């Protein structure tokens, strides 16, 4: 049995009632590495640019519009998945290094299993109560007693440890208890995965993309990529340092449970430390403070929340486009799925930190709101830092597919951008604030067992918030919507009903708080009402506007935007006449599509506008556009929205194919002014 805690070492709160901070920071490191590896994924997308051009030219030569759509869809899916090559390559390198590491370490130290354990070593291992007896390996190196863990269940000992186990028993026992604490926390394998992830990140992300940015003759995209890559690299390095420091604190706390007196004496020894610019281990004084007061290690971190937001913002920006193309679902549903993929690790990082902090300081909710605000600000920054927003890839590399051409933040109207940047931190603060109140409500009754349920609900809430916000950003950049017009477009009555249901469930989950803390419960209900009121206002369109929306295509039934109206919402049921080009040439028709946008060609619900557009396309000089015109005419006669969506897809894709993948350079368009006598 382990010895009782000496005076000055508190027993509560239990630092291992929930997953320790090192586990959360390992998740953060993996999320940050995955986000940074997406930059390298664009390098693989660029490597295949000649292949993209040849494939698209082959699609454009097909005679039937159905075959053209199937061919272009296959290419679009491949182009969309290509950025995932960066994270995939990092994962392969990490797994290979992880499998080979134990053998390499054992051979490097020429280590052999230790037989005849000293009594102090044997007693310490028994007191650790590990599920599996560790394998102690004796190295041929080392004149001073050092130890480290590696593999799944191995501890490497310096060759002099058996000698020092008799002369400096307390030091050897405390050091061994610390290493056994790593095994008890099961962080050895994850730590090696983190180390190899950082090494693979440096090899893959700091390699080809940096070379490409250095060799390009265009300074703007090179600078944009370089500073983003440097910033993400700093985040990865800082997160790795935080992981190492956190796992040392966790191992110290585990060692305190095994040999409290020896560990306290070991850390109180007053060893001198050299100053380091970048410290991978916490100072001895800080380690001693955490051992004496574990609550210091259980506080939530604003910096951790901000870093998680930046990484998740990059992931959702990229993954949302990938899922939108790969999944046959509306865009908002695809972005909800992307939001859920980021919300789960976020809740395992920020949410778990908030819940863990409530164990030591249950009556304090301020830090939770601060972490929520930092998370929201980080998500906004991540959307700006994403590879898709870093450069106009189609302008920089003409062979780059259209799906890689990012929508930069400067395309969003200033008022809408400010509104979007302000609303996300408030919503994320509401989610983390609710999580803190849920901890206050349920921890006294059920203890840490409440975390899986609270974390799952928080992940769903956060997924809906993230997915809706990111699809709104993409739509705002594609079409210059006003805030109210954008909200009407994204928050449909169905989406508002989902928001309301989730808010109601979140409010009901705080019912136990009404007895113990009525003020906090009242504040939570008021916050839910404040959030529900704008959703109700947004979900009910003004008189005269259409009721349904569709964010799965380039157009929607409400609100529509005439050319130059900058997102104004029509107040009359009479649609404006479609602004069709006055030429039947394919180049002129596609030029009108690019300059005025799809909204100027008529609302999808305006069947007469679709009929007129169909007649125009049927008279064009391009066979695929003529077939798209037939689809428009048939959809107008049958009043079929699905057939109209296929017609729109064929129209837009054919124009994109003619513009980007033509066989011969297009002639310069005639100037709109006379050139004689100039």
CB-count burial class (<10 Å; 0-12, 13-18, 19+) for 364: middle
pLDDT at 542: 43
pLDDT band at residue 442 using 50, 70 and 90 as cut-offs: confident
Distance of CA 592 to the CA centre of its chain: 37
pLDDT at 31: 93
pLDDT tens digits, one per residue of 17-45: 888 888 888 999 999 999 988 888 777 76
Q: Look up residue 301 and give its two tokens.
A: 């971190």
Distance of CA 93 to the CA centre of its chain: 21
- Among residues 442, 471, 445, the alpha carbon closest in space to that of 457 is found at 442
Order of all β-strands in the sheet with 135-138 = 112-113, 135-138, 154-157, 147-150
**Is the pLDDT at 11 greater than 80, yes or no?**
no
- Among residues 624, 644, 666, the alpha carbon closest in space to that of 63 is found at 624
Section 447-452 average pLDDT = 86
Average pLDDT, the chain: 77
Residues recorded for the chain: 678
Q: Look up residue 103 and give its two tokens.
A: 């053998």
Instruction: Check the CA dihedral 237-218-394-582 and report its sign.
Output: positive
Q: Which of 373-387, 591-605, 608-622 has the lowest mean pLDDT?
A: 591-605
pLDDT band at residue 581 using 50, 70 and 90 as cut-offs: confident
CA distance 530 to 155: 56
Instruction: Check the CA dihedral 461-462-465-466 and report its sign.
Output: negative
CB-count burial class (<10 Å; 0-12, 13-18, 19+) for 515: exposed
- Among residues 176, 430, 443, the alpha carbon closest in space to that of 298 is found at 443
CB-count burial class (<10 Å; 0-12, 13-18, 19+) for 362: middle
Section 292-298 average pLDDT = 80
Instruction: Please give the model's pTM, rounded to 2 decimal places.
Output: 0.79
Q: Tokens 């026992």 appear where?
A: 173
pLDDT at 575: 45
- Among residues 387, 233, 385, the alpha carbon closest in space to that of 318 is found at 387
Q: How many CB atoms lie within 10 A of CB 112?
A: 11
pLDDT tens digits, one per residue of 487-515: 777 777 777 788 878 888 887 887 777 66
Q: Tokens 């992300």 appear where?
A: 205
- 658 near 586, Cβ under 8 Å? yes
Percent of the chain at pLDDT above 70?
Answer: 75
pLDDT at 674: 35
CA distance 402 to 405: 5
**Is the pLDDT at 527 greater than 70, yes or no?**
no
Query: Which region, left, alpha or beta, applies to residue 413 given φ > 0 means left and ψ of -120 to 50 means alpha?
Result: beta
Q: Look up residue 246 and give its two tokens.
A: 């956190």
pLDDT band at residue 278 using 50, 70 and 90 as cut-offs: low
Residue 237 or residue 400, greater confidence: 237
- Among residues 216, 238, 213, 215, the alpha carbon closest in space to that of 227 is found at 213
Q: Look up residue 641 and give its two tokens.
A: 């929205």
Stated as kind and residue range, the H or E segment containing 112 is strand 112-113
Section 577-583 average pLDDT = 69
């Amino acid at each position: 049995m382990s010895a009782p805690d000496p005076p000055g070492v508190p027993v509560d709160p239990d630092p291992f009632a929930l997953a320790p901070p090192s586990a959360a920071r390992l998740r953060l490191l993996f999320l940050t590495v995955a986000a940074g590896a997406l930059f390298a994924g664009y390098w693989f997308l660029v490597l295949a640019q000649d292949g993209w051009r040849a494939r698209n030219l082959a699609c454009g030569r097909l005679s039937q519009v159905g075959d053209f759509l199937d061919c272009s869809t296959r290419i679009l899916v491949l182009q969309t998945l290509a950025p995932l090559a960066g994270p995939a390559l990092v994962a392969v390198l990490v797994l290979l290094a992880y499998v080979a590491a134990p053998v390499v370490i054992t051979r490097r130290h020429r280590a052999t299993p230790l037989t005849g354990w000293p009594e102090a070593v044997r007693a310490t291992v028994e007191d650790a109560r590990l599920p599996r007896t560790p394998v102690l390996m004796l190295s041929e190196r080392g004149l001073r007693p050092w130890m480290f863990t590696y593999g799944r269940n191995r501890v490497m000992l310096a060759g002099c440890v058996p000698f020092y186990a008799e002369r400096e028993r307390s030091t050897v026992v405390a050091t061994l208890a610390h290493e056994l604490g790593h095994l008890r926390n099961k962080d050895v394998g994850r730590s090696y995965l983190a180390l190899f992830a950082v090494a693979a990140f440096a090899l893959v992300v700091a390699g080809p993309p940096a070379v490409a940015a250095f060799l390009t003759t265009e300074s703007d995209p090179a600078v944009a990529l370089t500073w983003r890559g440097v910033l993400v690299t700093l985040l990865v390095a800082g997160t790795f340092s935080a992981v190492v420091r956190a796992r040392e604190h966790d191992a110290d706390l585990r060692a305190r449970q095994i040999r409290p007196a020896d560990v306290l004496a070991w850390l109180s020894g007053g060893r001198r430390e050299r100053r380091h610019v970048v410290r991978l281990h916490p100072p001895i004084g800080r380690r001693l403070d955490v051992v004496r007061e574990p609550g210091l290690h259980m506080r939530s971190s604003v910096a951790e929340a901000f870093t998680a937001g930046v990484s998740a913002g990059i992931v959702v920006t990229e993954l949302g486009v990938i899922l939108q193309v790969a999944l046959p679902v509306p865009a908002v549903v695809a972005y909800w799925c992307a939001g859920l993929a980021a919300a789960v690790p976020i809740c395992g990082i920020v949410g778990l930190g908030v819940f863990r902090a409530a164990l030591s300081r249950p009556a304090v909710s301020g830090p939770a709101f601060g972490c929520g605000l930092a998370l929201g600000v980080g998500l906004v920054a991540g959307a700006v830092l994403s590879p898709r927003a870093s450069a106009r890839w189609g302008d920089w590399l003409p062979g780059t597919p259209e799906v890689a051409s990012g929508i930069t933040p400067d395309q969003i109207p200033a008022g809408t951008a400010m509104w979007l940047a302000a609303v996300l931190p408030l919503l994320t603060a509401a989610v983390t604030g609710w999580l803190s109140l849920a901890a206050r409500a349920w921890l006294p009754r059920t203890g840490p067992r409440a975390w899986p349920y609270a974390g799952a609900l928080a992940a769903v809430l956060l997924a809906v918030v993230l997915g809706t916000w990111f699809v709104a950003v993409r739509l705002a950049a594609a079409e210059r919507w006003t805030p109210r017009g954008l909200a009407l477009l994204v928050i449909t009555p169905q989406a508002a009903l989902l928001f309301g249901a989730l808010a109601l469930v979140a409010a009901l989950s705080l019912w136990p708080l009404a007895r113990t803390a009525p003020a906090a419960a009242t504040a939570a209900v008021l916050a839910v009402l404040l959030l529900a009121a704008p959703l109700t206002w947004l979900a009910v369109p003004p008189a005269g506007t259409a009721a349904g929306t569709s964010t799965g295509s380039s157009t929607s039934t409400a609100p529509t935007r005439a050319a130059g109206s900058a997102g104004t919402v029509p107040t009359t049921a009479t649609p404006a006449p479609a602004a069709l080009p006055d030429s039947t040439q394919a180049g002129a028709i596609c030029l009108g599509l690019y300059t005025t946008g799809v909204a100027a060609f008529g609302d999808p619900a305006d069947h007469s506008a679709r009929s007129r557009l169909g007649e125009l396309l049927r008279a064009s000089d391009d066979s695929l556009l003529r077939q798209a015109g037939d689809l428009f005419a048939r959809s107008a006669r049958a009043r079929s929205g699905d057939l109209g969506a296929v017609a729109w897809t064929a129209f837009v894709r054919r124009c994109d194919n003619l513009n980007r993948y033509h066989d011969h350079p297009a002639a310069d368009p005639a100037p709109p002014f006379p050139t004689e006598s100039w």
